[in-house]
Amino acid sequence: MSPTAMPPNFAAALTKVSLVGQNKTAVVVGGTLGIGAAVARLLAKLGCKRIIILGRDENRGTAMLETMKKLAPADSRLEVAFVWGDLSDTKGMRAAALALREAAGPAGIDYLIMTQNGVPKGFLVPNADGHDTGFAIQALSRVALSYLLTKQGGLAPNAILMSIANQGNSLDDLSVDDLSLKVRAAAGESQTALFMNQSKRDSTVLDSFIEEFNTRYPAYRFFHLWPGLVNTENFTYDEVPGYIKYMMWLGMQLIGTTPDKYAPLPVYVHATQTLGSGMYFDYKLNPGKLGKWAGDVKNRKALWPVLMEIIGEGGSE
Ligand SMILES: NC(=O)c1ccc[n+]([C@@H]2O[C@H](COP(=O)([O-])OP(=O)(O)OC[C@H]3O[C@@H](n4cnc5c(N)ncnc54)[C@H](OP(=O)(O)O)[C@@H]3O)[C@@H](O)[C@H]2O)c1
């Protein structure tokens, strides 16, 4: 569907859509809070058959299960599950992939929606593998979950994968030997500069992986959506360094929205599957593009084996 043919109001368009009877299984990673929780609520409301959410907060997770059951139409016979998982390191990512595959059962996952993590920090916090923890959750865990679930038979035929995160930014001088940006941090880059570069790095790595994934696994479709600015339950400007805090505040006034108002966009993609061949979209579902680094096939080819090594799949194609 061309952008001009997009409905002006996705929430209104979804009032004519029902998932009842389609027997779909959705997994929302990061579904305990924020955008992921709103996506899970809306899928329940539309009658999705099975919804599995993954996060670390068991209380919020189990409360979400009750909320989804209340929202579901009676004839959807909704089945819900909370899967505990911590995606901060490779061990946690691999355990989460396994737990999700088991929770989904033999039919597999139809919709894999990844919304884990929040904003970068502007400093490095090493994880158990020595990588930056924010990067691990934001980018590496999306690589690990999508790759492992694909290779290990966790996805249903024609599954749709989706990452909701910054899209289209480029860290033009990214080195595949320094994905955690340790060299920059050691060189004394300011917190503000490192924050911006972490954000660009996450977008660069995710775009590159998703582009490469779509080429290698054409049986599935993997979308990457930039959500704009969404004022989630835990959103705070406190941890945002320097002038970026003011830019973000202004951005929130101009284009900011709430999780429940944003959720119809990603859910529209899953429920209607009418976005044509594009894989990248902005906060209004206008088509997006790859940034400069990710747009270069040589970079993507160099990155792939490095990512495979990090997620414990070294030597895999
Ligand atoms: N909100 C925005 O304005 C905005 C703008 C641009 C991009 N984004 C991106 O959009 C995505 C969703 O953002 P959001 O604002 O909805 O985030 P959020 O409200 O902070 O929610 C993040 C979710 O990720 C889960 N999570 C965090 N760390 C985790 C870990 N180590 N293991 C497993 N789950 C973990 C959290 O669950 P638990 O606490 O239960 O683990 C929570 O469900 C993020 O990737 C964010 O970077 C957001």
Determine if ligand 1 sits within 6 Å of the CB of residue 232.
Answer: yes
Q: Band the pLDDT of 3: cuts 50, 70, 90.
A: very low
**245 or 86, greater pLDDT:** 86
What is the DSSP code string of 169-229? ---TT--TT-TT-HHHHHTT--HHHHHHHHHHHHHHHHHHHHHHHHHH-TTSEEEEE----
Cα of 1 vs centre of ligand 1, distance in Å, is: 29
Q: 75 alpha carbon to ligand 1 midpoint, in Å? A: 31
Closest ligand 1 atom to residue 38 Cα is 16
Q: Is 57 in the pocket of ligand 1 (CB under 6 A)?
A: yes
Q: Domain segments of the chain: what residues?
A: 3-310
Dump pLDDT digits (tens) for 105-135.
999 999 999 999 978 889 999 999 999 999 9
Give the pLDDT band (50/70/90) at residue 238: confident
CA–centroid distance, 232 to ligand 1, in Å, is 9
- Reported as a single tens digit per residue, the pLDDT across 31-90 is 999 999 999 999 999 999 999 999 999 999 999 999 999 999 999 999 999 999 999 999
Q: What does each C-alpha distance from 187 to 132, 176, 182, 190, 191 come to in angstroms?
A: 16, 18, 8, 9, 12
Query: 51 alpha carbon to ligand 1 midpoint, in Å?
Result: 18
CATH among 3.40.50.10490, 3.40.50.720, 3.50.50.60, 3.30.2020.30 for 3-310: 3.40.50.720
Please report which confidence band the pLDDT of residue 174 belongs to, taking 50, 70 and 90 as the band edges: very high
Nearest CA to ligand 1 atom 47: 118
pLDDT score for 4? 42
Ligand 1 atom closest to Cα of 138? 45
Percent of the chain with pLDDT over 70: 97
